[in-house]
Amino acid sequence: MVKLRQNQVKHKLKRGEVVTCVSGIMDPDTVDFFGQFGFDSVWIETEHGPIDYKDIPDMTRACDIWGMTSIVRVNQNFPGIIYRTLDVGTQGVVIPHVNTAEEARAVVDAAKFGPIGSRGMYSSRQAIGVPDYMETANDESLVIILIEDIVAVNNLADILTVDHIDVFFVAPNDLAQSMGHLDNIDHPEVQATIDRAFQQIISAGRTAGHTVNDDTVEDTIKKGVRFVMGGWQDWVASGATAYLKKVSNASR
């Protein structure tokens, strides 16, 4: 009997290991290219950018080839959007602007089959050849919620009581905006709020996630964050700048 494909991120998090995720990828060929480097997961962006439902299946297939977990950020906390995204093949969903425990429970209800939730009864691309998909899907589906508004931080104690959420991801840009510090995630008040959120999540025995780059990833992991997401564009920009500088220096 064919078994449901394992969700690498869920299993690593259960073991308390750090999970890597690369974002900013817009097509399956680039997903395939990144597979060789050993990332745990790919963040497929459908809240912002051009990716639509028809693009998700092939991007998740490319993830499957390399054993990477496919994770799709949807654009709103709406049941049909959440379970349709799972239906077309992703192994995980990210839900933006989850500000209350009630909203967190709605995410779980949409993402999980009974008896946990009431996800619409349909199989999935991931279900092909898996006869017990309905019985095993809940074990392998990853649920991430974004803590990205100050109201969510203020309600975090209640939100953290909601079960079946794998990662509580503290998103800095919208959080800074909601605190009155537009486009200034480095503001001391914003950074202090982020650190308090990390501490609260970790103290509750839950998993914290955050956006990182080359300068912040080590410090973020030392703070106890176990899900780190970085964009590949910074790496290309750094390499391209260094390359062009060498060309310029050699041409003098």
Question: Looking at the annotation, which residues are catalytic?
Answer: 48
Four-point Cα dihedral 113, 15, 216, 144, nearest 10: 10
Cβ atoms 138, 118 nearer than 8 A: no
97: number of Cβ within 10 Å: 19
Looking at residue 77, the DSSP 8-state letter turns out to be -
Burial zone of 18 (CB within 10 Å; 0-12 exposed, 13-18 middle, 19+ buried): middle
Question: For 15-155, where are the alpha helices, taking DSSP H only?
Answer: 28-35, 56-66, 79-87, 101-111, 133-140, 150-154
Closest-CA residue to 167 (of 213, 201, 197, 139): 201
Tell me how far apart the alpha carbons of residues 110 and 15 are, in angstroms, rounded to a whole number.
26
State how far the alpha carbon of 22 is from the alpha carbons of 119, 209, 212, in Å.
Answer: 27, 13, 10
Reported as type and span, the H/E element at residue 41 is strand 41-45
Residue 68: which of 38, 95, 98, 97 has the closest Cα?
Answer: 38
Facing residues of 44 across strands? 72
